[in-house]
Amino acid sequence: MSSKKWFVIHTKPRNEKKVLEQVLSKEVEAYLPLVETIRFWSDRKKKLQVPLFPGYVFVHVSDSERIKAIKNTYGAMKYVMFQQRCAEITDEEISYIRISLKAPERIHIEESRIMVGDLVEITYGIFKGLKGFITQLRGNYKLTVSIIELNTTFSVQLSNAEVKLLNRF
């Protein structure tokens, strides 16, 4: 079993590629999943490679390399934390990201960010079809939704991919 684990560095806006280059130059394994998108300006349109997860770079590091990866790396802010520890991403999750990029035409980058107070509908899983208000955000991928139809105060933890925005309040 490898002593290396996947972690996520939070970057300054639009600094993902710069952070990736710097981390790789330190001979540390890093991954920045990119997707192609078309951006329109008033006089032209252009195909661009943009991060699938804006603001994040994945690093595969040992404990000693974890500090090396972020230290003196311009544009790197901090490691993403979960329950007061650096959030670990499993090899399986990284594998899923890599597999999903084999069909880039099926990936769509959502510009609207879900925020606390938004009304959403659950689009996947056993709670599919239920509506609720976002009561808490935990990082960019965990959110808590209070379920209206159940008329109770309990919440369900879901990922961004499992809900769609109905109304912003």
Q: How confident is the model at residue 96 (pLDDT cuts 50, 70, 90)?
A: confident
Q: How confident is the model at residue 20 (pLDDT cuts 50, 70, 90)?
A: very high
Whether residue 61 has pLDDT greater than 80? yes
Whether residue 113 has pLDDT greater than 90? no
Determine the pLDDT at residue 106: 66
Average pLDDT over residues 35-50: 79
DSSP 87-149: PEE-HHHHHHHHHHTTSGGG-----PPP-TT-EEEE-SSTTTT-EEEEEEEETTTEEEEEETT
Q: Smallest Cα–Cα separation from 32: which of 85, 82, 75, 84?
A: 75
In this structure, what token pair is assigned to residue 157? 């933890």
Whether residue 51 has pLDDT greater than 70? yes
Domains of the chain: 5-106 (3.30.70.940), 119-167 (2.30.30.30)
d(CA 17, CA 118): 31
Whether residue 141 has pLDDT greater than 50? no
Q: Is the pTM of this model over 0.75?
A: no
Three-state DSSP class for residue 157 = strand
